[in-house]
Amino acid sequence: MTEQRVHHLLEKQRVERPEAIALRDHDGVEYSYEALAHAVDWMSMDLAARGLRAGDRLLVVAENCAAQVGLVLAASQLDAIAVPVNARMTEHELHRIANHADPRLSVYLGNVSGPARTHAEIGDAVHWDTPLGALLISPEVRQALPEPVRDDAKQIAVLLYTTGTTGTPKGVMLSHGNLLYGGKTSALMRGLVPEDLILGVLPMTHVFGLASMCVGGLAAGSTLWLMPRFSASAVIDALEAGVTVLPAVPQIHASIMAEASRRGLDHAPGGYIRYVSSGAAPLDPEWKRMAEAFYGIALQNGYGMTETSAGVTLTTNPIGVPDVSVGRALPNVELRLGSVGEDGVGEVLTRGPHVTPGYFRNEQATQEAFDADGFLRTGDLGRLDDAGNLHIAGRSRELIIRGGFNVYPPEVEAALNDHPKVVQTAVIGRTTEGGNEEVLAFCQVARESDVTEADLLEHVVDRLSPYKRPSRIVIATELPAAPTGKILKNKLLGVFADRL
């Protein structure tokens, strides 16, 4: 069977491994592939009866749980377009997305999420009993214009709204082909097998959690253990209970190791873990060594964005290799740099089956996102080493120009992250008089009393040229972050305005 839709992966597993466990829900309830397929069939029929048509959008206000997986697959069966959004959004943020996505129906996963219940109350949602839990659904269908439907894998499967957008929200369209490529490639590159127990702590409202973690697990026939919210303590318990694959981001790994230390553990418990990956932020060599010593296996890094489904690159390093690049291009992915400067840095461009068709109902943004050869302009700056590994230098829009010199935030962040008291760092530029820019750093620590600004400024003297050193360093126990753990740099100046 040639898969043209994401739900075809489930149908394949239903035939080949019906009794194998597909999902372990937040409450410990397990669903076999047969049970999950039955639930998806029921959901798709009921949604159709309520008026959901091919080409309609289905808004899913959620935190990780089995019902969220079921709804994405049910939408796939109907050729409808799932729009997963994080329930922890504010009412204003959700309203803006809903207005743009124009959903025919909205479902709120109040069975696992208090914020989802709150949004459901605002939307006058009604009770909806499903095989995957008691949910809430909009009381009637909205008058919405359906999108054209294709009969191939280029049909749009989901809309994902990017973090931190301003103005009109940008809905990234991902096709069934994008997600199928992403899931299968994730399974291939990570060596996923049916015996794997994948910890689903990354939000499936974001591409890493949805494509690599969820669809990758379906492609491999593995078991996905879903957690609505990250808890370092719960992750430690899950590692001890048999988790073999842990996709995460540096902030999550740092919290896990801190919790283990509080428990008196210097290694990950259980001894089952065999694959650990990191993404969404650059790695520091010393921090990577610490993480590998803790897990006892190599820490793999990668690079991607919402617009590239599974990603663009991934490392396949053995343990102990000091490489902190984001690796080589994935299979069938084209990668090149545009307008390379004397320092070897240029904008990262990519083309292939992983790349979005564009932005929902925004032809101008879609055209601006691609060059004349059809390569996606990522907006990220990078360089390629002799082995073909990509090193991310930063976002082109985050490039700081200080005194005529280019300052790449990841380089400054890496220097500060090298301090033993720093958990992670975010660096941004701020325009000063005369159009110059100053470098501002925000360092997360366990306790603010652990280190001073003067300590950190002294720490970078031998690590950074004078023009790269921060003008100010703000020290805090928490930095504003998205549910994925990605630091929201656009919020730093507002959150710490009184300290600058």
Same fold, 7-177 and 230-395: yes
Pick the CATH number of 7-177 from 3.40.50.980, 3.30.450.40, 3.20.80.10, 3.40.50.300: 3.40.50.980
> Do 109 and 61 form a contact (C-beta atoms < 8 A)?
yes
Please state, in angstroms and rounded to a whole number, the distance separating the CA atoms of residues 60 and 31: 20
* Per-residue pLDDT of the chain in tens (500 residues, 90 and over written 9): 689 999 999 999 999 999 999 999 999 999 999 999 999 999 999 999 999 999 999 999 999 999 999 999 999 999 999 999 999 888 888 998 999 999 999 999 999 999 999 999 999 999 999 999 999 999 999 999 999 999 999 999 999 998 533 446 799 999 999 999 999 999 999 999 999 999 999 999 999 999 999 999 999 999 999 999 999 999 999 999 999 999 998 778 888 998 999 999 999 999 999 999 987 666 778 888 999 999 999 999 999 999 999 799 999 999 999 888 999 999 999 999 998 888 899 999 999 999 999 999 999 999 999 999 999 999 999 999 999 999 998 777 778 878 767 788 888 998 899 899 999 999 999 988 656 789 999 999 999 999 999 999 999 998 888 889 999 999 999 999 887 778 899 899 999 999 98
Burial (Cβ within 10 Å: 0-12, 13-18, ≥19) of residue 220: buried
Provide the token pair at 142.
């909205």
- Residue whose pair of structure tokens reads 């959903």 in the numeric block: 103
DSSP state of 88: T
For domain 399-499, say whether CATH 3.30.300.30 is its number: yes
Residue 437: what pLDDT? Answer: 87
Q: Could you count the other beta carbons within 10 Å of the beta carbon of residue 450?
A: 14
Please state, in angstroms and rounded to a whole number, the distance separating the CA atoms of residues 117 and 177: 33
Looking only at the bridges linking them, the beta strands covering 21-24 and 299-303 are unpaired
From the centroid of its chain, how far is CA 334?
A: 21
Q: Which of 234, 220, 308 is nearest to 9 (CA)?
A: 220
CA distances to 324, 386, 395, 425, 466 from 392, rounded to whole Å, are 10, 15, 8, 16, 22
Q: Which helix (H) or strand (E) covers residue 64, if one does?
A: none
Provide the token pair at 220.
């491999």
CA atoms within 13 A on the CB side of 184: 18
Please state, in angstroms and rounded to a whole number, the distance separating the CA atoms of residues 128 and 47: 11
Cα angle for residues 145, 149, 153 (degrees, 5° grid):
140
Provide the token pair at 235.
């992750």
> Do 178 and 76 form a contact (C-beta atoms < 8 A)?
no
> Do 347 and 384 form a contact (C-beta atoms < 8 A)?
no
CA distances to 35, 410, 457, 458, 474 from 454, rounded to whole Å, are 59, 21, 5, 6, 11
One-letter amino acid of 17: R
Contacts with 81 (C-beta within 8 Å, 6 or more apart), sequence order: 55, 56, 57, 58, 75, 147, 156, 157, 158, 159
Residue spans of the domains in the chain: they are 7-177, 230-395, 399-499
Please state, in angstroms and rounded to a whole number, the distance separating the CA atoms of residues 74 and 37: 9
Domain 230-395 classification at class level: alpha beta
Residue 347: what pLDDT? Answer: 95
Please state, in angstroms and rounded to a whole number, the distance separating the CA atoms of residues 388 and 492: 34
Burial (Cβ within 10 Å: 0-12, 13-18, ≥19) of residue 403: exposed
Please state, in angstroms and rounded to a whole number, the distance separating the CA atoms of residues 8 and 13: 9
Please state, in angstroms and rounded to a whole number, the distance separating the CA atoms of residues 50 and 61: 18
CA atoms within 13 A on the CB side of 100: 24
Coil, strand or helix at 472: strand
Coil, strand or helix at 444: strand
Residue 166: what pLDDT? Answer: 42
> Do 69 and 204 form a contact (C-beta atoms < 8 A)?
yes
What pTM was estimated for this model as a whole? 0.86
